[in-house]
Structure 1
Amino acid sequence: MATYFVGDIQGCFDELMAVLDKVDFNPSRDQLWAVGDLVARGEGSLETLHYLRSLGESAQVVLGNHDLHLLAVQKGLKRANPKDNLQSLLKANDLPELIDWLRAQPLYRFDESSKIIMTHAGVPPHWSLQKLQLRADAVSEVLQSDDYIERLISQMYTDNVADDRGDMTELEHHIYCINALTRMRYLSPNGHLDFACKMPPEQVDDPALSPWFTYASETHPKYTLVFGHWAALMGNVPSESLHALDTGCCWGEHLTLWHKESDQKITQKRLKKS
């Protein structure tokens, strides 16, 4: 059995199929772990969800910020970004079933045998594995409830919950968890999430901002952390036990697949559309 981790697909379905063909991926024997942001900018968001859903237990998926945004768009709470290609997905007859499948996906995956944690954007440095599980599982419980829109989706859009304080309400805990696990890039020294800066670290001259993975961590390097979300990194991270897999396929770069057993990266350049 081979285990593959893939970066942000963002609806780039043809590129996903191409890179999986390169490794002769077979869902009857192999597993595909996806770091989230399954949908949005590429032309094949509907096909991507159909494919991943069809894999059953051979697909291990986490939710990204674009996937959560889809939940709000589908209910009319938000408009689709003009740069997204969600028209065919939003018109699909089985959209409700695909939304329910998405809601059932967690914010993290943990492979105990390999000591691998996968989230979309990373893990807050002050969180232990146990705290990650506790907080993310609480969000998943709400997402899988019948009133998930009222309890969470309609209220999760705020940059004001950027600090993990002890006096927060239950809703604020959920929002911080979503902000940290699906939107995090830079932190200030006191742990404050910065949502504005998306540049690569070498271009940032603000001494108050550092990448989240440069801080002393409760999870790393005890565990290998796999994440996406930050295309500007182009996979460049300072540790062999960090794997940044978003390499900007939807922006014209390439899709990255990490083969865990051989510790090799396989890439597929963005395909030109006719």
Structure 2
Amino acid sequence: MANYVIGDVQGCLDSLLQLLDKVQFNSQKDVLWFAGDLVNRGPRSLDTLRFVHDLGDKAHTVLGNHDLHLLALWCNSGRSHESDTIAEVVNAPDGEELVDWLRSQPLALRLPATKNNLNNSLLTHAGILSQWSFDDALALSHEVQQVLSGPNWQAFMAELYGNKPNRWDSSLEGFDRLRLIVNVFTRMRMVRDDGKIDFKYKLEPADAPPELKPWFELEREFPGEGPIIFGHWSTLGQLKNKAGYCLDTGCVWGGQLTALRLEDEAIVQVEAVEPPLPTIP
């Protein structure tokens, strides 16, 4: 049995299938863990959702910002973009079933224990704040998951978009609290010296203004915890970092699709099969 953590697929199902063929994935015994952004921008968002959904308990995913964008469009709470490739999900005969499955997924998952350095590792799409323990992160993820999987989830989707508040405070309540939790887990890259999250900068950390630091460069208040495995940052330019691993290697932009095998920290990659999108966002 092997556990594979896979970076942002974004509707690039053909690349995913090549990657699974390369690792000789066996759906009877192996398990896949996706770092979010299963859909959008790539050409086969609907087929990707169907494929992961149909794997049942052999596949797990956290939500990424593009997955949430799909949920927002489903309930008419988001603006469509020229690069979106998720209308086919909204219009599919099984679209409601897939959306209901997607909105029941968490923002953070504890990965299975292995005998190497990846014991006690956490999976999320973008990262976590330095002042959150893994238990904190999982509890906050559960708060959002309860709302998204509940009967009034569309009310939250109408309040999802926005960059405020941009600093964590445990006393936050209501939609402000939920929005910040979602933004940390699915959009965060850089944090300012004063603790405020910057949601605009998307390029390499080396080119960032001096007052901005990658979230994983901040000193964690819980240094004894294991690695954090994430995606979301295709321009980061490195796989292994101070937090753990970033597995978004820009497949949808003509890069690679990357898997990390938890049992031995082996990195497996395939070159993107799909035609690349024209520019990095």
> TM over 0.5, yes or no?
yes
Deviation at 1:87, TM superposition (A): 3.1
Counterpart of 1:51? 51
How far apart, in 1, do the equivalents of 2:239 and 2:274 lie?
25
2:241 counterpart (238, 241, 262): 238
**Superposition map of 1:209-228 within 5 A:** 209-220=212-223, 222-228=225-231
CA-to-aligned-CA distance 1:19-58 (integer Å, 9 cap, x gap): 0000110111001000000000100111110011111111
Q: Does 1:192 align with 2:199?
A: no
Match of 1:135 among 118, 140, 154: 140
Alignment partner of 2:211 out of 197, 208, 214:
208
What letter matches 1:108 in structure 2?
A: A
Cα distance in 1, alignment partners of residues 79 and 174 from structure 2: 27
Q: Percent identity among equivalent residues?
A: 36
Matches within 5 A, 1:31-70: 31-70=31-70
Cα distance between partner residues in 1 of 2:203 and 2:66: 19
Which residue of the partner structure matches residue 81 of structure 1? 81
CA distance in 1, matches of 2:274, 2:233: 23
Counterpart of 1:140, as a letter, is Q
Alignment partner of 1:159 is 2:157: no
Offset, 1:147: 0.8
CA contact (8 A) 1:135 1:173 kept: no
Measured after TM superposition, the shift of residue 166 of structure 1 is 4.1
Whichever residue aligns with residue 212 of structure 2, its letter is L
Runs of 4+ in 1 over 4 A off after TM superposition: none
Give per-residue Cα distances to partners, 1:96-122, cap 9 Å, x unaligned.
Answer: 000000011100110363301000001
CA distance in structure 2 between the aligned counterparts of 1:211 and 1:43, rounded to whole angstroms: 31
- Could you tell me the TM-score, scaled by structure 2's length? 0.92
Q: Is the 8 A contact 1:234 1:245 kept in 2?
A: no
Q: Choose which of 258, 261, 264 in structure 2 pairs with 1:259.
A: 261
Counterpart in 2 of 1:103? 103
Structure 1 residue 234: Cα displacement? 3.2
Asked if the contact 1:163–1:192 (Cα under 8 Å) also holds between the matched residues in 2, the reply is yes
What code does the residue aligned with 2:230 have?
Answer: F
Counterpart of 1:161, as a letter, is P
For 2:224 and 2:213, the matched residues in 1 are separated by 18
Give the secondary-structure state (helix, strand or coil) at the position aligned to 1:243.
Answer: strand
**Distance between the aligned counterparts of 1:250 and 1:221, measured in 2?**
35
Query: So what's the TM-score if we normalise by structure 1?
Result: 0.94
Distance in 1, Cα, partners of 2:58 & 2:26:
9
Amino acid at match of 2:23: V
Q: Distance in 1 between matches of 2:166 and 2:274?
A: 39
**Residues 231-267 of structure 1 deviation map (CA, whole Å, 9 limit, x = unaligned):** 001334433x611000000111111111111211111
Superposition CA RMSD, Å: 1.4
Which AA in structure 2 matches 1:2? A
Q: Tell me the SS of whatever aligns to 2:235.
A: helix
Change (3 A) 1:209 1:110: same
Q: 1:272 to 1:67 in 2, by over 3 A?
A: closer
Task: Tell me, in whole angstroms, the C-alpha distance in 2 between the residues paired with 1:257 and 1:215.
Answer: 26
Q: Mind listing any 5+ residue stretches in structure 2 that lack a counterpart?
A: 114-118, 276-281
- Hey, what's the Cα distance between the residues in 1 that align with 2:211 and 2:85? 36
Aligned counterparts of 2:170 and 2:6: Cα–Cα separation in 1: 35
Q: Is the 8 A contact 1:12 1:48 kept in 2?
A: yes
Which of residues 149, 154, 166 is equivalent to 2:154? 149
